[in-house]
Amino acid sequence: DTGVSQDPRHKITKRGQNVTFRCDPISEHNRLYWYRQTLGQGPEFLTYFQNEAQLEKSRLLSDRFSAERPKGSFSTLEIQRTEQGDSAMYLCASSHNMPRGTQYFGPGTRLLVL
């Protein structure tokens, strides 16, 4: 399977714990995006990378969130001191760096904070 993969697919944690999610993009894609989706809403942008450079972070990305893409391949998204409001589906997408490049989404990591 050469699509975008994410790990884990599900995560249940207690409030205050740290969690880390991983995304492996399609291999030739140099842009990687993180989005968050809550029930009844469309995905909302969090941050994105071109190769290893983090180009932009949205205002949704509080200081408890950090994302990296150290070698320009896979990316990690860490949430520190989780809160119940962090419960959501975290989606990763990747694309070529070209105009109108289609973004392909991974299956997501579903986070539940108790």
Query: Which parts of this chain interact with other proteins (CB under 8 A)?
Result: 31, 33, 40-45, 48, 56, 58, 91, 95-108, 110
Locus of tokens 């999610």: 21
Burial class (CB in 10 A: 0-12, 13-18, 19+), 75: buried
Q: Which of 110, 112, 114 is nearest to 36 (CA)?
A: 110
Residue 2 CB, nearest approach to other proteins (Å): 15
Residue 15 CB, nearest approach to other proteins (Å): 23
Residue 112 CB, nearest approach to other proteins (Å): 13
Residue 64 CB, nearest approach to other proteins (Å): 20
Which CB atom, from 40 or from 70, has the smaller least distance to other proteins?
Answer: 40
Which CB atom, from 66 or from 80, has the smaller least distance to other proteins?
Answer: 66
Pairing of strands 5-7, 19-24: antiparallel
Q: How far apart are CA 36 and CA 92, in angstroms?
A: 9
Which CB atom, from 17 or from 38, has the smaller least distance to other proteins?
Answer: 38
